[in-house]
Amino acid sequence: MVRIVAFRLVAAVITLLVASVVVYGAIYVAPGSPLSFLIGGHGATRQVIRQIEAEYHLNDSFPVAYVRWLGNGVHGNFGTSLVQHQSVSSLIEPRLTTTLFLVAYAALLIFVFGIGSGLLAALRPRRVGGAVVLVTTVAMAIPPFVWAVLLTTVFAVDLAWFPAIGNGSGFAGGLYHMTLPAVALAMVWLAYLSRITRAAVDDELGKEYVETARARGIPERYVFRKHVLRNAWIPISTVAGITVAGLIAGDAVIEVAFGLNGIGAYLVQSIEAKDFPVVQAIMMLLVGIFVVVNTLVDVGYAVADPRVRTSERR
């Protein structure tokens, strides 16, 4: 068991390192010299040049430069924005709250309604099941940005129930402004989780060991909790990992669509403004979150399913 966790941690670290190499190395792959690329469209004053060279250690060889850049990053120093002339971390921090709020909101919706509707569909197959399957198939095929547009059209413009753009202030304001974005972001994953849940629970309900428990007179509620859910949780939690990937990728799109001031929108803005230090920082942040969550899911999977533990010993 410990071996599994250690293995996963090592894999996670390796992945992060590779990602960091890619993110850092991008400036070398770019057309032109790294320096000219970083300068981009910004004025090439001596001060700017010196700043870039210092932060990127361009005068050192690649491996050395990379390690020093990485060292800085680990300490939270992501360099200076070429546009705002402030430290990147100070620019990211406030926006990070918005993004985390949005993602958490979306995640909540996904788990509550996704798992909820899936369970309902499995337990009431005749009335609810078919409908849920149909709705989820269509819902899954509508990309988040189309959802954004749909929801905006119906709820923000036509019905004017929710605002179309902006962050909102404070918690309640945030909740209000973020509802449509959170729903748009969550929809595809909600539908997917619903299907997986329904399939998993339905599958479990038919399992022979569930029949055994019933045959021994064990109350249905207990059977459901201890056997059906416990086993169904395994495929459901795997989906949780994939969901995070989707949320991270979709988050940028949703933030742009709704004019939210989060790190996803900032990423896009920075690309357009050629503010590469910011781009790198946000990229690493996103990949980092993604890897961490996936690792947690993998470990959780091993905890939940004892069969995995033995099979891992190759």
Tokens of 292: 């961490």
Shortest distance in whole angstroms from residue 171 CB to other proteins: 26
Question: Among residues 15, 1, 3, which one has the least CA distance to residue 293?
Answer: 15
- CB-CB contact of 74 with 66 (8 Å): no
Shortest distance in whole angstroms from residue 300 CB to other proteins: 13
- For other proteins, the closer CB: 111 or 192: 192
Residue 62 CB-density burial (10 A; 0-12 exposed, 13-18 middle, 19+ buried): middle
- For other proteins, the closer CB: 60 or 305: 305
Shortest distance in whole angstroms from residue 53 CB to other proteins: 19
- For other proteins, the closer CB: 100 or 123: 123
Distance separating alpha carbons of residues 286 and 301, to the nearest angstrom: 23
Tokens of 291: 């890897």
Shortest distance in whole angstroms from residue 9 CB to other proteins: 14
Shortest distance in whole angstroms from residue 10 CB to other proteins: 10
- For other proteins, the closer CB: 48 or 242: 242
- For other proteins, the closer CB: 41 or 76: 41
Shortest distance in whole angstroms from residue 154 CB to other proteins: 9
Taking CA 262 as the corner, what is the angle to CA 77 and CA 86, rounded to the nearest 5 degrees? 35
- For other proteins, the closer CB: 49 or 289: 289
Report the chain's terminal Cα–Cα distance, integer Å.
Answer: 13
- For other proteins, the closer CB: 55 or 204: 204
Shortest distance in whole angstroms from residue 46 CB to other proteins: 25
